[in-house]
Every structure is written in C-alpha cells, then in structure tokens.
Amino acid sequence: MSNIYHKCNRYCRGVTGAFLLPYLLMAVFGGVPLFYMELALGQFHRSGCISIWKHVCPIFKGIGFAICIIALYIAFYYNTIMAWALYYLLSSLRPTLPWTTCTNSWNTANCNSYMSTDHNVSWSNSSTSPAEEFYTRHVLQVHLSPGLHQLGSVSWQLALCLLFIFTIVYFSIWKGVKTSGKVVWVTATFPYLVLLILLVRGATLPGAWRGVVFYLKPDWEKLLSTTVWIDAAAQIFFSLGPGFGVLLAFASYNPFHNNCYKDALITSSVNCLTSFLSGFVIFTVLGYMAEMRQQDVSAVAKDAGPSLLFIIYAEAIANMPAATFFAIIFFLMIIMLGLDSTFAGLEGVITAMLDEFPHILAKRREWFVFGLVCVCYLGALSTLTYGGAFVVKLFEEYATGPAVITVVLLEVIAVSWFYGTTRFCNDVHLMLGFYPGCFWRVCWVAICPCFLLFIIISFLAFPPEVRLFHYHYPQWTTVLGYCIGVSSFICVPAYMVYHLLTAKGTFKQRLLKSITPEPSSDGHRDLIVTNAV
C-alpha cells in the first residue's frame, strides 16, 4: 500500500506536471518489471531477501543484508512521522482544533489567524499560520534546536506516542503473516474510503481548480533537473516496494503455481492509480489554500514532505465545516497508511532472518520481533528530539532513496546477468506455464540497469540541496548523509570479499562456486510456517 507522506514529498517539490512523465516512465520501465521480478523470485525460491541469494548468485548475498539495514533506517524515522500524526489525532479530540488560533502559549507575534469566510486577510512573507506554529513550535519544538549539531532533549510526548505506535506494530506482526494479514484488511481499506471523502470535499472547495491545474500542467524545463527523475524513482520504489525485501518475503508464502504475473500487473496498476488519485486529494486543498491566502499555488506548495500534511492540510481542515471530524479521519488515515508500510517493511526483515537462521529463530519469533521493535524504537530516539525533524529529513534524503536505488541496481544485475535471464524465465515457466515476454526481458537486462545507473550517477554528481524550515544543512551534513547511505550497501562488497576468503579451493574454484546457484529446498520454510501457525 502506497503512502500519502511520500506522495506529498515527491509530488510537491514544485515539479507537479513535470513529475508525472518521469513517474510514468519509471513505473513502466522500472517499477513494474522489478515488481514482477521480485514476486517471481520470492515465489519460486520461497526465501527472504538474505537466503534467496544462495539460490540465485551466492556472492551477492550482501544485498540481503543491505536491504535489512535500509529497512531499519526507514523504521528509525518513518514511524516518527506516525507519532506526529498520533499527536495530531489526540489533539483533534476537542471541539476547537488547537491549530486554529493564535492565542496559545506557543504562538508568536507573526501568527496570522483567519477563517474560511474571510477572504480579505493580508498575508505577508513574514506571516505564519497557527497551524505552522502548532507543528513547528508545539509538536516538534524545533525552535529549541539550532540544527543537527545540537539536537536538544527528547520530547516525552512524542516518545509516548511512538511507544504506542510500536506497541501496535509488535502485536500485529509477532505471530507472522497470518496475524498481520488480518490487520492489513483494516489498515489497507480504510484509507481508500477516507481518500474518496477528502477528494469529494476538496473538489468542492473554493479555488480547488487552481490546484488541479498546477498539478496537471507540465513544466518541460523541469525535466532537465535530475531531482525530478530521482524523486520519481524514489516514489516508485516506496510505492511498489522493490528493493525493500517486502515483495520477496510475502511472495515466498504464495503457492508455487500462484499467478504472480497477474498479481504484479493488478497490484502495481492499482498502486499507481492510487498515487494519481492522491495527487488530486492533495492539490485541490493546495488550490484552496492559495485562494484563501491570495497567493500562487507554487508559493503554498514550496515546502514538501511533512509540512504539507501537518501544516497546509491541517490548516485547510481547520477552516472547513466539521473540522474535528475531518481532522480525526485524516490523521487516522495517515497512521493506518504508516502502519501498513511498517508491517511490510519489518516483515521483510523478519522473514529474511528467520529464513537465514531457521533452527535458532523459528521457535523464538515473538522474542526476535520484540528485540527488533526495541532496536527500532531506540534508533528512533534521535528523531524525537527538538531537532528530530532535521534527522528525519537527513535519513529520508540519503539513507533510503539513493541506497534503495543502488541495491535494486545490484539486484537486477545479479539476476539478469549472473543468474541469467534464460534461467529465470525457465523458473517463471515452471511456475506459471508460460515465459515472460520480450518486453520484460529487455527491461530486466538493459532498460532497468541503465535507468537506475543514470539516476545514481546524477545523484552523486548533483547532490540535493537539503533544507528544512529556515535551516540550511551545512556541508558536513552532506558527508554524513553519504556515510549513512553507504553504510547499508557496503555490505555487498564486504560479503563478496568474505565469501571468497572463506570458500575452499583455488581462487578460480572459489569464484566459480560463488556464482553457481544452490538447489532450492523448502524444508526450512516449512519449519517456519509450521511454527508461525
């Protein structure tokens, strides 16, 4: 299930219509072929993202460890955003939303409050809305931190919210996919209902058409920016999930002859259509806010990511009739979307570790999941500080998007060039009764690697200029960000060296053995499934 947060973050960087073409191209030639490839791999070899490589190309086993580290990094910051949403949800349980007035203890003299019926408000560059000050000064308290060099204390309110989030996560996944699958029926379907409600409400707001035009109107000059292509690729990977180990994990529980080809086409199509629908939900409200402030939509949408959810959208909801109702369902939707993604991400790690160490962890799944959740909570403490929002932004820009793209590049090279497209297509034929078409083969062998390599080189040549609120990230944070990103996929060359050094025989024999797949065996997976049930 795709998530609203990353849609806001990628769609709303001022690229709008220019984003749709790269997004569509990355989906057709990158996201969907990789989605299909991972489903087929997981279903055929019935293994998670670590142990599967001994059946594909043993020397690339480090890819699985890299995927697990990336999943941990995401858990460190992604669940913090859910904690913010939970704080907003609890704050919404009152007749008057607290981010509607400027008379609170956290407000400043620049606070400018207005109601939806007042269209003559004077909005200047120095004005701040009560929603902005509620988010930055009350929830995040970011004004108490000068930057990444001095994060400040941990907010105990957010720490309790995050503890509650991880408690839900633990009791949803501790028994395995059968338990989490039942929870997902709620977390995956409720957001669609809320999206439709918000879409209808947004379409009826004054000025909504301005946001829709801004969303759909192409800006061809933006296509020359590498940021657009990187954002499109990152959005596809976050939406569809290749490179996170999730598809491998869930597909490994499928029946051997399940039609994963149909699953790939239907799921990816629904996901991309949901992304497109979410764009209308977001931009109708942005057009409404631009109408109220008498500004351009580009000025309202200048800050991407959480700011759009917790400032712009929250402010728009506050000025609607029945504001409390819309606030409750909106932030409840954000939490459910986040939980849905967290279940999948952590299940990818759990399945990988249980497959790799079945006789140690299979009967101790509950304790292992508990330890994993504790590690994720402790790792997230830095994002709960007064400067935690700066840490979230750093993780998002460097530790996830570029790292995932690099891992997926290595994955598709290992499958297509080392394991072999012919062998892989034979596996698909054995499962489904037909061979993948020419389009899929060309994508796996050439188009996907070229796309991904282009994006990685572009990112290294033109790293993003990171800023959040009024804080411009200094140069040393770029170095820190690169170190965080490299720390995950450094597992790949490290394991290659380890594998070659520990194997027996001459160097040629060791090299040949390291690229020769081992026969698949389902015994360990049967043990895991039995204990999970």
Instruction: Give the pLDDT score at 1.
Output: 40
Burial class (CB in 10 A: 0-12, 13-18, 19+), 469: middle
Q: Is 145 annotated among the ligand-binding residues? A: no
Instruction: Give the pLDDT score at 183.
Output: 67
CA distance 87 to 104: 17
Tokens of 268: 């990816």
Q: CB of 335 within 8 A of CB of 86?
A: yes
Instruction: Give the pLDDT score at 521.
Output: 56
Choose the weakest-confidence range: 68-72, 199-203, 397-401.
397-401
3-state secondary structure of 467: strand
pLDDT band for position 116 (50/70/90)?
very low
Spatial neighbors of 450 by CB under 8 A, at least 6 apart, are none
The runs of H, that is alpha helices, within 153-259 are 156-173, 177-203, 208-216, 226-240, 246-251
Helix (H) or strand (E) run with residue 443 in it: none
3-state secondary structure of 111: strand
CA distance 134 to 104: 9
Region at 137 (left for phi over 0; alpha for psi -120 to 50; beta for the rest): alpha
Q: How far is CA 325 from the centre of its chain?
A: 27
Domains of the chain, with CATH numbers? 4-532 (1.20.1740)
What is the amino acid identity at position 499? H
Percentage above 90 pLDDT, the chain: 28
pLDDT band for position 164 (50/70/90)?
very high
Spatial neighbors of 186 by CB under 8 A, at least 6 apart, are 336
Q: What is the pTM assigned to this prediction? A: 0.85
Q: Is 239 annotated among the ligand-binding residues? A: yes
Helix (H) or strand (E) run with residue 366 in it: helix 365-379
Choose the weakest-confidence range: 179-193, 234-248, 506-520.
179-193
What is the amino acid identity at position 61? K
CA distance 266 to 263: 5
pLDDT tens sequence across 459-489: 777 777 777 877 888 888 888 888 888 888 8
pLDDT band for position 121 (50/70/90)?
low
- The 10 Å Cβ neighbour count of residue 531 is 15
Tokens of 97: 């939303």
| Average of per-residue pLDDT across 141-147 | 88
Helix (H) or strand (E) run with residue 349 in it: helix 323-356
Spatial neighbors of 349 by CB under 8 A, at least 6 apart, are 68, 71, 72, 245, 372
| Average of per-residue pLDDT across 349-362 | 86
CA distance 441 to 424: 10
Q: Is 341 annotated among the ligand-binding residues? A: yes
CA distance 355 to 520: 12
**What distances in angstroms separate CA 60 from CA 114, 251, 382, 488, one per listed residue?**
58, 20, 32, 14
CA distance 93 to 325: 9
Which DSSP state fits 222? G
pLDDT tens sequence across 47-92: 888 999 989 999 999 999 999 999 999 999 989 999 999 999 999 9
Burial class (CB in 10 A: 0-12, 13-18, 19+), 533: exposed
Instruction: Give the pLDDT score at 363.
Output: 82
Instruction: Give the pLDDT score at 91.
Output: 92
Q: What is the DSSP string of 274-293?
A: HHHHHHHHHHHHHHHHHHHH
**What distances in angstroms separate CA 449 from CA 292, 409, 509, one per listed residue?**
46, 6, 29
CA distance 311 to 278: 17
| Average of per-residue pLDDT across 417-445 | 93
- The 10 Å Cβ neighbour count of residue 185 is 9
Spatial neighbors of 43 by CB under 8 A, at least 6 apart, are 251, 252, 254, 256, 258, 260, 431
Q: CB of 243 within 8 A of CB of 161?
A: no
CA distance 432 to 369: 34
Q: Is 410 annotated among the ligand-binding residues? A: no
- In a 13 Å sphere around the CA of 82, the CA atoms on its Cβ side amount to 29
CA distance 227 to 215: 17
Three-state helix/strand/coil letters over 303-324:
CCCHHHHHHHHHHHHHCCCCHH
3-state secondary structure of 150: strand
